[in-house]
């Protein structure tokens, strides 16, 4: 059970839930300090021995009247600029006289059950008030009447703490907020590796692990979206930590715009972690009476390896971020026509693709790009959300009905934030595309970004989408966003407000999603940004699943989905089986491997089954049935990474139902090594006492045998590759090939016999 233990005398606050402790104190100068963050420790009346006020060198900047007091040497919770702490501050406020100096002092606190939600931003929520406790600590700058409330929510059954800040100008003069981090945390040493999740289009979220060193190590976005380049998440782990053992801290940002996530190691080996809106081009007018709410940051801690930390984040995403009916409803297996047709389709062709998919059990048909406006190629049509008269002369209502008549749900692609110059919307409102007056506009894929910081623009797109979604039975939308902001300038606001554009833009996106969900509460939104260019916890508040990557190659997907799974649950990862040779890599992989990878996600197909042989169609039918059987385990169970794919040899992962009775192990060979070593993979998360049957979908010497959970976890599951190096049917276990894979189906059959 989560609690906040308050020691009034020492002004110490101990947030704990039995697994973690987070201890802070308002010190003698009114500064809020961090005393401890890590595994739960028993409470004591006074932890202030952890604050070391020491005499340091002459170069130290001290408080007048207290030679031992230097902000440079204190581990603070919301540090400020210009008063002796020379590290990056959490907040900078510019005042009418140009000064940026503030002095925030502890003023008061409140503790409440549960957690309040934010109005215009995504945030975690509780399902009942016992699920979390929230501590609000109020800091005040006396001279400016500036109030900063730091919010801390600790969850009862999770190692996650949510942090954010509300900054209010209670004075009579206008202030400018130049920096407002969501979380700042000073750790007492720097023996950490930082793992960030970096990449590019078609190779998103590849883990990159590096030791911390003195100075700043940062990832960030200046694109207007979280981006492909770096995900707004990172791990900070002790050097030996691996998937199953060791200490680690995870940081995640519940925000989809420009972010800054960094670690700063100072001269005394203190590590300052910060995450928040990127202040590079951010300034916000804080008028008298106005408040600014920072987005929420999530911080998690484990002493039991990365898999355990992932479970904490997965649970929070599934239980406290994803909302609405799709939170608990089974996600449909879908077929998407993009790689099957691109722009070359008509109603009958689409219905035929849907029919063939329905015949094998697929549940939702998604019509991708090309159905609207004058969208005959990617040069025209974005912004005009009415059916394309050439391709769909009978409109969407009839198409949706024909799909529904097959017994399938119907879904549709949109790219609401973009416009083509060749569109009625642009012709009527060229000024709605973001541009800097007098400067050329850059484009990406012939697209220009609409000014979502302008409510009039958002209203227009809402009206168009509302009437389209009302016109047909549309159960799902794929919300795409294929380029980032350039020449960012808000022509509706004056110079003093230009620093607000990027944040207001993403608030506009959130508001449109929220309005659509209010109007169509059963709608399932799958977010997408040229694949996984906006895969973050902010988006997951509106769209329970996100297209992981435009790269549908199974081998590439191992890398992408492995990295994505560190912070995000399988139920959030859009993953499809596509045709070979693969459209992004030209690689030919077995159909079973494409499915064995895509199954560890939302699952679906992006091909025309009419192009497959009868045997392949039968195989697809079996895949769909298997997924349907294990969907609950995959989407609600605990996922474990077992063997990372990044050396291009082998990879393995598994998912276990919460009652530990059923599990599915994905075991992947990347490049074939003839006559390769004998291998075992140790499973995780099973019940040691339970006996399980193991069935393998590929060649295996152990298929059909029974093992106890403890054997599978301690000795391991024998997964030796059957490729002996002699092709041509010599091997009784059959031949295997590059990119082969197996699924091991693990089912409880009884309790372990005790002697």
- Say how far apart CA 490 and CA 450 lie, in whole Å: 10
Among candidate residues 480, 490, 719, 740, the one labeled active-site is: 480
Cα torsion for 269, 10, 91, 452, to the nearest 10°? Answer: 120
- Going by C-alpha positions, the residue among 172, 30, 173, 180 that lies closest to residue 93 is 180
- The stretch near ligand GLA (CB under 6 A) out of 6-14, 483-491, 509-517, 524-532 is 524-532
Q: Residue from 37, 152, 253, 338 that binds ligand GLA (CB under 6 A)?
A: 338
26 contacts: CB under 8 Å, gap ≥ 6: 11, 32, 33, 106, 137
Question: CA end-to-end span of the chain, whole Å?
Answer: 38
Q: Residue from 550, 551, 556, 687 that binds ligand GLA (CB under 6 A)?
A: 550
CB 284, CB 177: distance < 8 Å: yes
C-beta closer to ligand GLA: residue 165 or 477: 477
CB of 551 to ligand GLA, least distance (A): 10
- Going by C-alpha positions, the residue among 372, 359, 466, 455 that lies closest to residue 419 is 372
C-beta closer to ligand GLA: residue 48 or 585: 585
Type and span of the H or E element at 358:
helix 347-359
- Going by C-alpha positions, the residue among 520, 554, 550, 553 that lies closest to residue 535 is 550
Q: Residue from 482, 543, 593, 602 that binds ligand GLA (CB under 6 A)?
A: 482
- Dmax over CA atoms of the chain, in Å, equals 87
DSSP 617-645: HHHHHHHHHHHHHHHHHHHHSEEEEEE--
Angle in degrees, CA 448, 454, 459, rounded to 5: 95
Q: Residue from 477, 528, 655, 656 that binds ligand GLA (CB under 6 A)?
A: 528
395-424 residues in contact with ligand GLA (CB under 6 A) are 413
- The stretch near ligand GLA (CB under 6 A) out of 289-297, 395-403, 523-531, 710-718 is 523-531
C-beta closer to ligand GLA: residue 283 or 343: 343
Does the protein bind ligand GLA through residue 531 (CB under 6 A)? yes
| Pairing label, strands 476-479, 409-414 | parallel
C-beta closer to ligand GLA: residue 482 or 623: 482
CB of 580 to ligand GLA, least distance (A): 18
Residue nearest to ligand GLA (CB): 369
Does the protein bind ligand GLA through residue 368 (CB under 6 A)? yes
CB of 103 to ligand GLA, least distance (A): 48
Among candidate residues 550, 608, 638, 687, the one labeled active-site is: 550
CB atoms within 10 A of CB 521: 11
C-beta closer to ligand GLA: residue 192 or 201: 201
Q: Residue from 480, 526, 608, 719 that binds ligand GLA (CB under 6 A)?
A: 480
CB of 532 to ligand GLA, least distance (A): 9
C-beta closer to ligand GLA: residue 106 or 413: 413
Which residues on neighbouring strands pair with residue 259, listed in sequence order? 277
Does the protein bind ligand GLA through residue 502 (CB under 6 A)? no
CB 139, CB 105: distance < 8 Å: yes
C-beta closer to ligand GLA: residue 168 or 578: 578
- Going by C-alpha positions, the residue among 176, 120, 170, 121 that lies closest to residue 149 is 170
CB of 415 to ligand GLA, least distance (A): 7
- Say how far apart CA 232 and CA 250 lie, in whole Å: 11
- The stretch near ligand GLA (CB under 6 A) out of 322-330, 429-437, 528-536, 624-632 is 528-536
CB atoms within 10 A of CB 39: 14
For residue 550, indicate whether it is catalytic: yes
- Going by C-alpha positions, the residue among 595, 535, 543, 533 that lies closest to residue 565 is 535
For residue 480, indicate whether it is catalytic: yes
- The stretch near ligand GLA (CB under 6 A) out of 263-271, 298-306, 526-534, 737-745 is 526-534
Cis, bond preceding 74 (omega within 30 deg of 0): no
Q: Residue from 530, 565, 578, 690 that binds ligand GLA (CB under 6 A)?
A: 530
CB of 339 to ligand GLA, least distance (A): 8
CB of 435 to ligand GLA, least distance (A): 23
Does the protein bind ligand GLA through residue 365 (CB under 6 A)? no
DSSP 515-531: HHHHH-TTPEEEE-BTT
* Residues making contact with ligand GLA (CB under 6 A): 338, 368-369, 413, 480, 482, 528, 530-531, 547, 550
Residues designated as active site: 480, 550
């Amino acid at each position: 059970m989560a609690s906040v233990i308050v020691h009034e005398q020492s002004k110490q606050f101990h947030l704990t839930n039995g697994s973690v402790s987070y201890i802070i104190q308002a010190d003698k100068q009114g500064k809020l300090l961090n005393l401890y963050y890590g595994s739960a420790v028993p409470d004591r009346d006074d932890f202030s021995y952890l604050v070391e006020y020491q005499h340091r060198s002459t170069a130290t900047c001290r408080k007048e009247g207290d030679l031992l007091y230097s902000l440079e040497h204190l581990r603070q919770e919301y540090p400020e600029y210009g008063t002796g702490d020379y590290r990056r501050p959490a907040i900078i406020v510019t005042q009418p006289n140009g000064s940026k100096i503030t002095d925030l002092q502890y003023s008061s606190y409140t503790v409440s059950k549960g957690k309040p939600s934010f109005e215009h931003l995504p945030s975690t929520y509780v399902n009942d008030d016992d699920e979390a406790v929230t501590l609000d600590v109020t800091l005040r700058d006396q001279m400016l009447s500036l109030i900063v409330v730091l919010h801390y929510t600790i969850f009862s059954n999770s190692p996650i703490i949510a942090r954010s800040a509300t900054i209010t100008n209670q004075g009579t003069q206008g202030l400018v907020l130049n920096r407002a981090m969501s979380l700042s945390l000073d750790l007492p040493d720097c023996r950490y590796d930082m793992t960030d999740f970096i990449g590019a289009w078609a190779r998103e979220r590849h883990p990159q692990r590096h030791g911390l060193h003195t100075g700043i190590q940062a990832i960030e976005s200046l694109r207007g979206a979280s981006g492909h380049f770096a995900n707004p998440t990172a791990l900070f782990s002790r050097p030996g930590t691996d998937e199953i053992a060791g200490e680690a801290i995870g940081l995640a940002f519940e925000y989809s715009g420009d972010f800054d996530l960094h670690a700063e190691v100072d001269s005394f080996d203190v590590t300052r972690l910060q995450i928040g809106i990127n202040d590079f081009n951010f300034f916000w007018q804080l008028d008298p009476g106005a408040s600014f709410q920072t987005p929420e940051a999530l911080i998690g801690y484990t002493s039991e390896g990365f898999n355990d930390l992932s479970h904490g984040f997965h649970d929070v995403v599934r239980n406290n971020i994803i909302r609405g009916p799709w939170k608990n409803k089974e996600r449909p297996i879908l077929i998407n026509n993009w790689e099957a047709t691109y722009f070359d389709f008509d109603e009958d062709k689409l219905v035929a693709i849907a029919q063939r998919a329905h015949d094998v059990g697929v549940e939702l048909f998604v019509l991708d790009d090309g159905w609207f406006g004058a969208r005959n190629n990617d040069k025209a049509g974005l912004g005009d959300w009415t059916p394309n008269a050439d391709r769909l002369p009978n409109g969407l209502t009839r198409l949706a009905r024909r799909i529904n008549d097959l017994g399938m749900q119907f879904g549709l692609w949109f790219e609401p934030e973009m416009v083509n110059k060749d569109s009625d919307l642009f012709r009527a409102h060229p000024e709605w595309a973001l541009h800097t007056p007098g400067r050329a506009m850059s484009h990406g894929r012939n697209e220009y970004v609409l000014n979502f910081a302008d409510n009039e623009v958002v209203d227009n797109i809402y009206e168009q989408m509302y009437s389209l979604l009302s016109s047909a039975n549309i159960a799902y939308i794929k919300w795409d966003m294929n380029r980032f902001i350039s020449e960012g300038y808000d022509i509706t606001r004056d110079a003093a407000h230009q620093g607000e554009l990027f944040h207001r833009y993403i608030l506009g996106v959130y508001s449109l999603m929220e309005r659509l969900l209010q109007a169509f509460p059963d709608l399932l939104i799958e977010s997408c940004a040229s694949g996984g260019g906006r895969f973050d916890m902010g988006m997951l508040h509106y769209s329970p699943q996100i297209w992981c990557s435009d790269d549908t190659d199974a081998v590439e997907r191992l890398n992408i989905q492995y990295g994505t799974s560190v912070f995000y649950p399988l139920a959030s990862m859009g993953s499809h089986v596509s045709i070979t040779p693969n459209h992004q890599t030209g690689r030919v992989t077995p159909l079973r491997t494409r499915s064995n990878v895509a199954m560890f996600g939302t699952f679906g197909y992006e091909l025309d089954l009419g192009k497959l042989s009868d045997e392949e169609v039968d195989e697809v039918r079996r895949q769909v049935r298997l997924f349907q059987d294990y969907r609950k385990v995959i989407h609600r169970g605990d996922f474990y990474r077992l063997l990372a794919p990044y050396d291009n040899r082998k990879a393995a992962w598994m998912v276990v139902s919460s009652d530990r009775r059923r599990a599915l192990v994905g075991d992947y060979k990347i490049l074939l090594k003839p006559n390769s070593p004998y291998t075992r993979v140790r499973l995780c998360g099973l019940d040691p006492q339970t006996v399980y049957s193991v069935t393998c979908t590929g060649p295996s010497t152990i298929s059909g045998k029974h093992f106890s959970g403890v054997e599978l976890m301690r000795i391991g599951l024998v997964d030796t590759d059957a490729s002996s190096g002699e092709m041509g049917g010599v091997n009784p276990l059959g031949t295997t090939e590059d990119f082969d894979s197996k699924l091991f189906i693990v089912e409880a059959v009884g309790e372990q016999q005790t002697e």
